[in-house]
Structure 1
Amino acid sequence: MQLSNLQRLVGSVANNINQIARHANSTGEVPPEAAATIAHAKSVIIRIDRQLADMAGR
């Protein structure tokens, strides 16, 4: 995976988390899909960490 792909993936994850936060801040409620979205974000971040470690030769 190229660095540009990783950057795009990070941006997508950040956008999803920001949407959840924006919704929660404006309504006072966490949307029902938040837990699944956060779990997916966590798995994506773990994949990115592994990919970066591989690229660094660790």
Structure 2
Amino acid sequence: MLLIQRVIDTVSSNAKFSLWLRMNFNLHTSFGDMVQRMFNALEPETKVPIARYPYSNET
């Protein structure tokens, strides 16, 4: 799927008016898909907390 500028502008515009200044656009067709991909728009001043998983092999 090619992200066209209209989609990027829409997601970014929605992010500007969201409480957390971020928004996503799902690229997958169903939540049952084996792979779920999304486009994330984060506006300036977005707070992104560090996710820590102390009992995980993922570092």
TM-score of Structure 1 vs Structure 2, range by shorter chain = 0.3 to 0.5
State TM-score, norm by structure 1.
Answer: 0.33
Q: Higher helix fraction: Structure 1 or Structure 2? A: 1
Higher relative contact order, chain-length normalized (CA < 8 Å, sep 6+): 1
Greater strand content: 2
Q: Could you state the TM-score of these two structures normalised by the residue count of structure 2?
A: 0.32
